[in-house]
Amino acid sequence: MKIASFNVNSIKARLPRILHWFDEAKPDVCVLQEIKCIDENFPASEFEDRGYNVEVFGQKTYNGVALLSKHPVEDVIRGVPGFEDEQSRYIEAVILPEDTDPVRVGGLYLPNGNPAPGPKYDYKLAWMEAFTAHAESLLALEEATVLCGDYNVIPEPQGVYAPDKWREDALFRLETRQAFRRILNLGYFEALHHLKPEPFYTFWDYQGGAWDQDKGLRIDHLLLSPQAVDRLVGGDADRAVREPNSGSKETKPSDHVPVWVEIA
């Protein structure tokens, strides 16, 4: 089972490119971030025609997440349980394949937090605290669980092209990295960090020639419970999707690339 995460930076603006990647990569499950539309405006039929069940937690203009699965889903959750939030940033469901055990998949778009310090950074840390509590509760279920998405966290210096320039950014501040580490310390496994030990990135800004100069960040992550790690086959980041001519020449790519793991 191929489980993917993709911050699309507007489903409407990049739909041809997104569908091109879906047709090539053929994920069994994919969570999308920054769809930037309300539920009714999500192009569900485009994915249903490709065999996907569609669950959306949208928001006008900003944020918004969706979960797409070729297998039946149940126990759909929208929003981090116990956390009052006006923004649509988290969706979760149990995936029910016919020929193997279920997998619980959570898709998140963690707050950016800039400028830091300040109210937006306080919101980021509060969101992470609530998410950590939920992640801990999921471990108690002893299920194969994959929590993936745009974490807006650079976990270590090799995840950014110029660490010294990013020390006080909300994505790389010490408090942010400590909060991310607390999630891992619960017992989660950061899959791509171990599968791809060499430095790699999942995000490149549109400005300043970031793509051409490979000035990237690694902020999209897949965290696996022990039961999911036992079934882990492989994973990668589809860097080629960020190429300007990849998929559709009419629209520019997202500033993120898809990341994925394969679960036996």
> Over the stretch 18-68, which tens digit does the pLDDT of each residue have?
999 999 999 999 999 999 999 999 999 999 999 999 999 999 999 999 999
Q: What is the pLDDT of residue 251?
A: 84
Contact predicate 32/65, CB 8 Å: yes
Cα separation, 87 vs 78, whole angstroms: 11
Write the DSSP symbol of residue 24.
Answer: H
C-alpha distance from residue 251 to each of 60, 149, 216, 246 (Å): 21, 23, 21, 10
Residue 249 has pLDDT above 80, yes or no: no
Q: What is the pLDDT of residue 261?
A: 98
Q: Is 198 annotated as a binding residue?
A: no
Which of 52-85 are b and which e, b meaning 16 or more Cβ less than 10 Å from the residue's Cβ? bbbbbbbbeeebbbbbbbbbebeeebbbbeeeee
Q: Which residue reads 């041809």 in tokens? A: 16
Q: Is 112 annotated as a binding residue?
A: no
Closest Cα to residue 239, out of 257, 253, 255, 252? 257
Catalytic residues: 109, 150, 256
Assign 165 a pLDDT band (cuts: 50, 70, 90): very high
Domains delineated in the chain: 2-263 (3.60.10.10)
Report the pLDDT averaged over residues 213-224.
98
Q: How many residues does the chain have?
A: 264
Q: Which amino acid is at 249?
A: K
Q: Is 84 annotated as a binding residue?
A: no
Q: Is 164 annotated as a binding residue?
A: no
Give the Cα-Cα-Cα angle 147, 160, 139 (nearest 5 degrees): 20
